A = this chain, B = another copy of it.
Amino acid sequence: MRSFNFFGRFASAFHDYPSLSKIIFVSTVSGGSLIAYAEASTNNGNRGHVSHADAITSNSIAHADANTSKKKKVVVLGTGWAGISFLKNLKNPTYEVEVVSPRNFFVFTPLLPSVTCGKVEARSIVEPIRNIIRKRNIDVSYCEAECIRIDPANKKIYCRTARTAINTNSKQGEEFAVGYDYLIIAVGAQVNTFNTPGVEGNCHFLKEIEDAQKIRRNVIESFEKASLPNLSEEERKKILHFVVVGGGPTGVEFSGELRDFVNQDVLKLYPMVQHLVKITVIEATDHILNMFDKRITTFAEGKFLRDDIDVKLGSMVTKISENEISTRAKGSDKTTSTPYGMVLWSTGIGSRPLTREFMKQIGQGNRRALATDEWLRVEGCDNIYALGDCATINQRKVVEDIAEIFKRADKDNSGTLTVKEFREIMKDVIARYPQVKLYMQSRRVRDFVDILTEAKGNAAKEKIELSIEEFKSALSVVDSKMKNLPATAQVANQQGAYLAKCFNRMEECEKNPEGPPRFRGTGRHRFQPFRYRHLGQFAPLGGEKTAAQLPGDWVSIGHSSQWLWYSIYASKQVSWRTRALVVSDWIRRFIFGRDASGI
């Protein structure tokens, strides 16, 4: 079978040498350009084809005591955006990396809402972690377990094999310890129920791939249940009342997906109950998508009105029972109860047990997430980093250091700063405190001196001299621009890449620090602090319409943004496999509609 051999060889070449896949793939689908490009990867090594002997050796090394090995051991907890981004960007071969996570795959979370109604298949948006790491030319191993305790004093973590096995006899629940030189906590977050009674047990969440699969089965199940012969109209209506709690991007996207599913597929498959479907979005604040531009909020609310999606604004969920959801309008004491069939709870995030436990241990007990400094180091710990949804950067305020900054700036010890002295010090201040830049952007100035001039009644720039009090008052306002980064994939991704770059140059920067000067103390910081670059955000609204808020206040709404959304999400896929699968899922849905099998 020569033909078979040819095809087999071709396929295995593609399979074995992923560098072959660095082909620019431009597919122009009927004018709407669907562009999927390979991200240029600087790593050409292939670590997959090690011999048995090699594999066993590297495995034994990986599990040997870190102290006896020359390589520094980095333990990464989590295989989400932050962890994977770190792994994909780490290039320094002097580390030995061990990834510990109960989930042996990465999930492309922005497409989770698409899975809930079958626009995309669950398996199309996951990539095995072993597939990702075997393409790296660094020493990295993976261990499917959950970290249950961190012992920073002894530089050890304790793990437990996590997943419930299907066969009853395989090892589980056993604990083992892993030592580390550096620990990277990227375990993500879990859903926050705000202690609302009845949420656990009656609601769906949408954080993991299993959640999306469950929702999909439940949606189909609802239509099947509502089509049974032994029901009253009231009962059918109850079963087909879908409630979404939380008008953020996830809740809004799910509502849109569900509306599309009802309009496009339910119409054909369950025509007798289609008119009974009701979708309600409950939002506690005054608007849905309130983190977006006003124009987007208005458009989304208008579109949902036209789509017959009921949006209840200023409404708090007080309780969810087995059959009813109770809400209270803002500023009112009256509680209303409505029968429902299914609830998706997508309101906000809370910390995982491991994170909570560790925060207590290191005296951060009353915080929402692990506090780190601007270099993503967990405050109060050595060699422990935290990033992604489980962490927040505790941005240092300028006012805290203001006396030291002034002293450093006042080179001639005159007690006042000239404009020249001020300008010089501001370079370092901007590098050290990101909020200064944000403040300048919000005031739309390129030179901080312009703000001073304005404050001084438009005095001539060069004549200004600042006393320490004036300096303080000028800079104290900038701290108002400090804010926590949103818990998004984008932030986690950038943090992972940032941290990997720090690790890549760790030794180099130890000798030649490249960060801003230390205002308290001497010398410079090793690295520049982490800076988040917001690249925009999408909010798909259903009906092939998406709202996009792009950098520079550019707002785009409608079909064109939908195509932009397709292009960007195809290009951002973590592998060529998932890229091909996601694109083919979209095409499949266009041609054949969504599958309604209850699996």
Q: List the interface of chain A (C-beta within 8 A of B).
A: 1-4, 6-8, 11, 14-15, 29-32, 48-50, 52, 55-56, 58-59, 62-63, 103-105, 121-123, 126-128, 130-131, 134, 142-145, 161, 163, 165-172, 174, 176, 178, 201-202, 204, 209-210, 213-214, 217-218, 220-222, 224-225, 227-231, 235, 239, 268-272, 274-275, 322-323, 340-343, 544, 558-560, 562-563, 576-577, 580-581, 584, 588, 590-593, 595-599
Contacts and interface: CB of A to CB of B under 8 A. Distances in A.
Which 4 residue pairs across A and B have the least CB separation, nearest first? A3-B31, A105-B597, A176-B230, A1-B559
Contacts of A6: 30-31
Nearest to A589: B11
Nearest to A343: B167
Nearest to A62: B229
A598 B104 contact: yes
Contacts of A178: 229
A229 B64 CA distance: 9
A581 to B, nearest CB: 7
A263 to B, nearest CB: 12
Contacts of A166: 204, 214, 217-218, 221
A206 to B, nearest CB: 13
Given A7-B590, A170-B222, A229-B63, A128 B596 contact: yes
Contacts of A31: 2-4, 6
22 contacts: A1-B563, A3-B30, A3-B32, A6-B30, A50-B271, A128-B595, A128-B597, A134-B268, A145-B228, A163-B598, A166-B217, A166-B218, A167-B343, A169-B202, A169-B322, A169-B323, A170-B221, A170-B222, A170-B341, A171-B225, A172-B225, A577-B592
Contacts of A221: 163, 165-166, 170
Contacts of A229: 62-63, 143, 176, 178
Contacts of A272: 55-56, 58-59
B595 A577 contact: yes
A238 to B, nearest CB: 9
Given A11-B591, A14-B591, A55-B272, A168 B201 contact: yes
Contact of A225 (B121, B161, B231): B161
A170 B225 contact: yes
A228 B576 contact: no
The copy count of this chain in the complex is 2
A221 B172 CA distance: 11
Nearest to A129: B597
Contacts of A228: 143-145, 161, 171, 176
A356 B588 CA distance: 42
Contact of A1 (B3, B32, B577): B32
Contacts of A576: 592
Contacts of A50: 271
Given A104-B220, A130-B269, A322-B168, A123 B52 contact: no
B590 A581 contact: no
A595 B8 contact: no
A268 B131 CA distance: 8
Contacts of A4: 30-32, 544, 559, 562-563
A145 B4 CA distance: 46
Contacts of A271: 48, 50, 52, 55
Nearest to A118: B123
Contact of A15 (B122, B201, B235, B591): B591
A221 to B, nearest CB: 6
Contacts of A323: 169
A466 B559 CA distance: 86
Contacts of A214: 166
A46 to B, nearest CB: 10
A596 B170 contact: no
Given A6-B30, A269-B130, A271-B55, A144 B224 contact: yes
A80 B591 CA distance: 25
B599 A126 contact: yes
B218 A123 contact: no
Given A6-B30, A165-B225, 17 more contacts: A1-B32, A3-B30, A3-B31, A8-B544, A48-B271, A56-B272, A62-B229, A104-B598, A105-B598, A128-B595, A143-B227, A161-B228, A168-B202, A169-B202, A171-B231, A178-B229, A576-B592
A540 to B, nearest CB: 15
A264 to B, nearest CB: 9
A126 B594 CA distance: 12
Contacts of A580: 588, 591-592
Nearest to A59: B272
B202 A595 contact: no
A239 B174 CA distance: 15
Contacts of A163: 221, 598
B167 A11 contact: no
A595 B126 contact: yes
A130 B15 contact: no
Given A4-B32, A4-B559, A584-B584, A130 B599 contact: no
A143 B227 CA distance: 7
